[in-house]
Structure 1
Amino acid sequence: MAVRGRPVRGGPVRLVVRTFSELCLTVGTLIVLFVAYVMFWTGVKAAEASDGQIDRLQDTWARSPLAAPAPGPEAETAPRAPGAYEPGRPFAVMYVPRLGRDWDWPVLEGTGTKTLQKGLGHYAGTARLGETGNFSVAGHRRTYGDPFKDFPRLRPGDAVVLTDGATWFTYRIVNKPYRTVPGDIGVIDDVPRKAGFDGPGRYLTLTTCEPEWGSSHRLIVWAHLDATQPVADGRPRALSG
């Protein structure tokens, strides 16, 4: 006659505990993978995308040179083609020495999600590069290459240099990063009064998210056009240090 085995004590409880433990392990693994994706993989993809945008710009500039305006901060920029910048397409490269010797990012038209995954985004409707008004640009603080990760380090007097392939435009920052809410659209007005500007000029606004891993607020810096020079004359002094 077969011997009946002893019943396993706490069988259902053990099953619940084991299932819960496996669930926690699975969720933990997914969280780790998601963090790795956000912190690493989006950066890899952004680097590839931004490099591709810069390569596209350089090809365009080589095939269709843009005539440089007369030197000086009052010079107007001749458009490469009639009309506004093309949505989602690059038209300039930005350099900010304070953020690193190798810091360079393409500037694309628009601030949509897909656009900001490839580089910095120009607020549609604000001034064109180098023209009278407020040339306004947004960028991610974190993820997609972290272009503005060190935004809080910016200080008055820092240079923000851009090129459209024919001209270098050097802007000078006038304030420490200013914290505000997303709805404060006055920061990109033609004359941003909170920057202390009191009349028309050639201005630049940079915006990013605050806090570092959130988006409840925005950080803002403003700048004014300080100098221009043709690309053919070499790199501007602000980039030669």
Structure 2
Amino acid sequence: MRVIVRTLSELCVTAGGLIVLFVVYALFWTGVQADGVMDEQIGLLREEWARSRPSSGAPPAAAEQPKPYAKGRPFAIMYIPRLGFTWNKPVLEGTAASTLEKGLGHYAETARLGQRGNFAVAGHRRTHGDPFKDFPRLRRGDAVVLTDGATWFTYRIDEGPYKTVPSDIEVIGPVPRTSGYTRPGRYLTLTTCEPEWGHSHRLIVWAHLDSTQPVEAGKPEALRR
């Protein structure tokens, strides 16, 4: 009997240790890894933008049809001052699990950044860097700023956070359901999981494109301290 009790006790201690290690991994290590990966994605983007920028004195390039976003690759950087002036995340094409481990993911079936329609983006609430941990703090009037290396796009939040179920795909439609919008426009939708450590529901905010300006003009007002 003593051997059985001792064995069970040791198994419980081992199981407890494994649980603690898993929690540390989920809370800390995936965050450390994700921060490094997201910084790497932003670095790659900035290098790409620097290479594609015309040299001083060169004539402007002729207008070209924008290239499709490459699946799983970054194409923009997002800033949300409400979440902190150091908060910035890469936006990649697609919402596959492997993509969302590197940053935020653009729903490929939605509009391109700044274009007519609904540019919709998803992000983890917890783990993998906790990009949208403070999502419930977002409020009407908050700025969401993005750049594609050539242009700054400033969106202003109109509605949310709104709680819904994962199957409610109409919230990322061209004119999102329950957003309050009644006609086509240039919209932004952000989505994340709810509750904080679960995924039974989604939190949504909607925004409209408020202004644009070329990168050469400097940072938009929303990013100036």
Same fold flag (TM > 0.5): yes
Q: Which residue of 2 aligns with 1:180?
A: 164
Deviations along 1:97-140, whole A, 9 cap, x unmatched?
Answer: 00111100000000000000000000011000000000000000
Aligned partner of 1:169: which letter? F
Tell me if structure 1 keeps the 8 A contact 2:136–2:161: yes
**What TM-score do the two structures reach when normalised by structure 2?**
0.94
Task: Give yes or no for the alignment of 1:57 onto 2:64.
Answer: no
List alignment gaps of at least 5 residues for structure 1.
1-12, 67-77
What is the aligned residue count? 218
Task: Give yes or no for the alignment of 1:216 onto 2:204.
Answer: no
2:66 and 2:148 map into 1 onto residues whose CA distance is: 15
Q: Name which of 11, 17, 42 aligns with 2:5.
A: 17
1:64 and 1:200 map into 2 onto residues whose CA distance is: 33
Q: Name which of 64, 73, 85 aligns with 1:89.
A: 73
Aligned partner of 2:118: which letter? N
| 1:126-145 paired onto structure 2 within 5 Å | 126-145=110-129
1:209 and 1:156 map into 2 onto residues whose CA distance is: 20
Q: Which residue of 1 aligns with 2:58?
A: none
Q: Which residue of 2 aligns with 1:45?
A: 33
Shift of 1:79: 8.7
Q: Name which of 2, 13, 24 aligns with 1:36.
A: 24
Q: Name which of 105, 108, 116 aligns with 1:124.
A: 108
Aligned partner of 2:191: which letter? T
Q: Determine helix, strand or coil for the equivalent of 1:48.
A: helix
Instruction: State which drifts further: 187-196 or 165-174.
Output: 187-196
Q: Determine helix, strand or coil for the equivalent of 2:167.
A: coil
Shift of 1:65: 2.9
Q: Which residue of 2 aligns with 1:194?
A: 178
1:79 and 1:170 map into 2 onto residues whose CA distance is: 23
Tell me if structure 1 keeps the 8 A contact 2:100–2:123: yes
Shift of 1:194: 1.0
**What TM-score do the two structures reach when normalised by structure 1?**
0.88
Q: Determine helix, strand or coil for the equivalent of 1:174.
A: strand
Tell me if structure 1 keeps the 8 A contact 2:159–2:180: no
Shift of 1:82: 4.9
Instruction: State which drifts further: 184-193 or 214-223.
Output: 184-193
Deviations along 1:130-178, whole A, 9 cap, x unmatched?
Answer: 0000000000000000000000000000000000001000000001300
Q: Which residue of 1 aligns with 2:150?
A: 166
Q: Determine helix, strand or coil for the equivalent of 1:193.
A: coil
Q: RMSD between aligned alpha carbons?
A: 1.4
List alignment gaps of at least 5 residues for structure 2.
55-61
Tell me if structure 1 keeps the 8 A contact 2:38–2:103: yes
Higher radius of gyration, 1 or 2: 1
2:91 and 2:124 map into 1 onto residues whose CA distance is: 12
Q: Name which of 179, 185, 188 aligns with 1:204.
A: 188
